[in-house]
Structure 1
């Protein structure tokens, strides 16, 4: 198991590098000049060229990406940074604050909204998926299926605006602006953020449960006289949870990324609003730092989900341990043959 975890951690390195290179290339070719945005409108071309040189933006893209990874030491101290490998991407062009410091200040707000949305999606999706699977092709199943399809189809920004119009403008039940200090104000953004995740998890739970309850050991459990609740809870649900846990783990990363649109609609002070503001202002250090942070969170969550498999299904843990013993035994047998 330890060997597997170390291997997965090492696999995160090329993933993060690939993501950063793609995002860096997109910011490089995107229209707009950060040097001209930082200077007054009446700045001369010489002033812009001098500013671009100080920022390191007058060099080829690969050279700039090298500086992004290993640091940049410009002619002044304003735009110096130690690089991504030392978790220092410098300061924001707009706020002049360390970009990772700004993200860490806003991350608890985004995490709070994502956790509420995740809990809401799990509480709703798993029971509805089980009910839909145990009553296939019934009216309840049809209603759940239609709601799941609507949840998958509706864009987050449209759903958020509809919820604001209905519950904030018309009914005046919830505020239209969200704040981490007011949990009531998080109801609408949490529903908006959880809608797609709930729909996906409901469909996955239904599909997995329908596959499991058709197995022979479920028929055997029923033949032994166990009640339907005991069969579903003790025998079917645990085996059906493995693909569901996979989807939930992936949805955690999607909730972090999906918070960009939700936070923008509800003016919520999280990482999403930082990214949107940075994109609008061509604040490259803040954009790159936000994307790197999101990629790391997504990768770490997926790693934790893979580790969680072993605790849900002992067969997976036995597979890892058996593979490790087989490799170790092969090495020892080869050593003995060489020795003899």
Structure 2
């Protein structure tokens, strides 16, 4: 985890600060005065070699300080305000993924070649083929504006406001989870241990629920874990459609405003989330399949 953290954060730091002048455009159409540029670079250590800049920055990160952005606000405080909203949105999306995706995949797997299997296969392919911004805009129009079932925007970040954005955010992943579950379940149902379980007199329901499904969920858990890390990072498109005041919107505005400190600080947090989620997924492997060793 440590090499990945250092390597990824160094790359994003270099791309944000070393490949462009962050003072461009900060004084409007006119170039900034030389005194302002010198003070700006001194305040953010941009007058030093890039390696020294990065070491100084990571030294502050290890102390819990993500820096002060170009507008005088602490990045950690900006993220602390927005992350709870994004976390709630991610939990709602993951809940839809797990409940709808796994149930649909199991039904399709045990009914291979029948109507339910065809329905799940076609519908998931249909969802995967449609961009998220189209799904979000259509559901916002139909369920929000015309039918009035859900709020159109989620500016306050309440649970009621986040249900529709959460479903939109998780819709693509629901399709992938369903297809992954179905594919792995069908493959495991042909395994020798399943035939042995049936020969011992176990019912089909117990064979699927106790033996086959646990092995089939290993790649699904991998996908869900990685996807949860991505969702916690904030879905920029979904948050923009529903005006959610989350991490994705903050990152989008920071990129627009060329606020490098906010961009790097946010990405550092996202990298940590990804690494922690991957660690949790690795530990869950042993719970689902005791044959997997973590020695």
The TM-score, its normalising length taken from structure 2, stands at: 0.90
Q: Tell me the residue number matched to 1:143.
A: 119
Structure 1: gaps of 5 or more residues: 1-11, 71-82, 325-340
Please tell me whether Structure 1 or Structure 2 has the larger radius of gyration of its CA atoms: 1
Check if 1:66 corresponds to 2:55. yes
Q: Relative CO higher for 1 or 2, CA cutoff 8 Å, sep ≥ 6?
A: 2
Q: CA deviation at 1:213?
A: 0.8
Distance 1:153-1:111 versus aligned 2 partners, 3 A rule:
same
Q: CA deviation at 1:245?
A: 1.6
Structure 2: gaps of 5 or more residues: none
Check if 1:89 corresponds to 2:66. yes
Q: Tell me the residue number matched to 2:41.
A: 53
Q: Tell me the residue number matched to 1:303.
A: 279
The TM-score, its normalising length taken from structure 1, stands at: 0.79
**Following superposition of structure 1 onto structure 2, how do residues 13-24 of structure 1 map, counting pairs within 5 Å?**
13-24=2-13
Q: CA deviation at 1:152?
A: 2.7
**Following superposition of structure 1 onto structure 2, how do residues 159-308 of structure 1 map, counting pairs within 5 Å?**
159-179=135-155, 181-257=157-233, 259-308=235-284
**Following superposition of structure 1 onto structure 2, how do residues 100-119 of structure 1 map, counting pairs within 5 Å?**
100-119=76-95
Q: CA deviation at 1:41?
A: 6.1
Distance 1:210-1:174 versus aligned 2 partners, 3 A rule:
same
**Following superposition of structure 1 onto structure 2, how do residues 119-158 of structure 1 map, counting pairs within 5 Å?**
119-158=95-134
> Hey, what's the Cα distance between the residues in 1 that align with 2:241 and 2:157?
18
Q: Contact 1:213–1:236 (CA<8 Å) still a contact in 2?
A: yes
Q: CA deviation at 1:228?
A: 2.0
Q: CA deviation at 1:46?
A: 2.6
What secondary structure sits across from 1:315 in the alignment?
A: coil
Distance 1:40-1:51 versus aligned 2 partners, 3 A rule:
farther
Q: CA deviation at 1:30?
A: 6.0
Q: Contact 2:18–2:50 (CA<8 Å) still a contact in 1?
A: no
> Hey, what's the Cα distance between the residues in 2 that align with 1:221 and 1:186?
44
> Hey, what's the Cα distance between the residues in 1 that align with 2:25 and 2:155?
34
> Hey, what's the Cα distance between the residues in 2 that align with 1:44 and 1:114?
41
> Hey, what's the Cα distance between the residues in 2 that align with 1:35 and 1:52?
12
Q: CA deviation at 1:33?
A: 3.2
> Hey, what's the Cα distance between the residues in 1 that align with 2:184 and 2:238?
30
Q: CA deviation at 1:302?
A: 0.7
Distance 1:155-1:18 versus aligned 2 partners, 3 A rule:
farther
What secondary structure sits across from 1:229 in the alignment?
A: helix
Q: Contact 2:234–2:246 (CA<8 Å) still a contact in 1?
A: no
CA RMSD of aligned residues (A): 2.3
> Hey, what's the Cα distance between the residues in 1 that align with 2:75 and 2:157?
24
Q: Contact 2:9–2:267 (CA<8 Å) still a contact in 1?
A: yes
> Hey, what's the Cα distance between the residues in 2 that align with 1:210 and 1:53?
59
Q: Contact 1:117–1:190 (CA<8 Å) still a contact in 2?
A: yes
